[in-house]
Amino acid sequence: MNIIETKNLTKSYSGFTAVSGINLHIPKGEVYGFLGPNGAGKSTTMKMFLGLVKATSGSFTIDGKKYPKDRERILKETGSLIEAPAFYGNLSGEENLEIICKILGLPKSSVSEALEITGLTQFRKRLAKKYSLGMKQRLGLASALIGKPPVLILDEPTNGLDPVGIHEIRTLIRSLPEKYGCTVLVSSHLLSEIELMAGNIGILNHGHLLFEGTLEGLKYDAAAKGYPVDNLEEMFLAMIDEDNRKRGTVI
């Protein structure tokens, strides 16, 4: 069963198409990796799912609910971390989450649960401005996870982190479907990163969906097209490079 599906989803600006008629099928209860170079259309697609950007044409459903008719219900059931998380620096991590909890009308116990999930319980009283970058990303994830929504949308959640921070966030994301039954849509421009988290992937380039399926399916598809398959990152780059050549585009 797919929890997110799109049908010819498109976003155009004057003279530029950021997302071009994509058809995504995101399985329920899995981590789905959304891949592509910077500017491929990943963030625009995620923002459409959250109602931050209005689609030019096409449609999508999340957990059987159709946008825009069911917009409020979709947003209530979707947690997100888009771009760098913003918090009140003079409030503690716990106080920042309490504000979100009140806005969403959730019980206060949701705050301690979110802190526990993200490993921030011992730092809950520390001011947010004194959090490290990794801790801020964790607090951003805590705000997305509060209330345990069935769908999580995370845009480049490991951006700017050191290797230890990347490993911690990756391990946390990978554990979420099994622990809490949620579906995670996570974007990255690095296949090597997504490879360690996701079961299914979608690859975007210049707003077009080049591939959707499992990593094994990607290897099979790449081998059939003569791309290198020993190194996944090289295979991914070869696929993007070939698509750029077809479009007459140079990165």
β-strand 2-13 against 65-66: which pairing, if any? unpaired
Residue 93 has what pLDDT? 95
pLDDT in tens, 75-113: 888 999 987 778 999 999 999 999 999 988 889 899 999
Residue 249 has what pLDDT? 63
Instruction: Please tell me whether residue 109 adopts helix, strand or coil conformation.
Output: helix
What element of type H or E holds 3?
strand 2-13
List of residues 6+ apart from 130 with CB closer than 8 A: none
Q: What pTM was estimated for this model as a whole?
A: 0.91
Would you say residue 32 has pLDDT above 90? yes
- 41: pLDDT confidence band, cut at 50, 70 and 90? very high
β-strand 200-205 against 31-35: which pairing, if any? parallel
CA dihedral sign, ordered 138, 40, 185, 174: negative
Instruction: Please tell me whether residue 63 adopts helix, strand or coil conformation.
Output: coil
- 34: pLDDT confidence band, cut at 50, 70 and 90? very high
Residue type, 98: E
The packing angle between helices 109-117 and 93-104, to 10°, is: 130
**d(C-alpha 20, C-alpha 153), whole Å:** 20
Contact between 200 and 218 under an 8 Å Cβ cutoff? The reply is no
Instruction: Please tell me whether residue 13 adopts helix, strand or coil conformation.
Output: strand
Residue 60 has what pLDDT? 95
For the chain, the distance separating the N- and C-terminal CA atoms, rounded to the nearest angstrom, is 37
Greatest alpha-carbon pair distance for the chain in Å reads 56
Contact between 183 and 228 under an 8 Å Cβ cutoff? The reply is no
pLDDT in tens, 44-81: 999 999 999 999 999 999 999 998 888 888 888 899 99
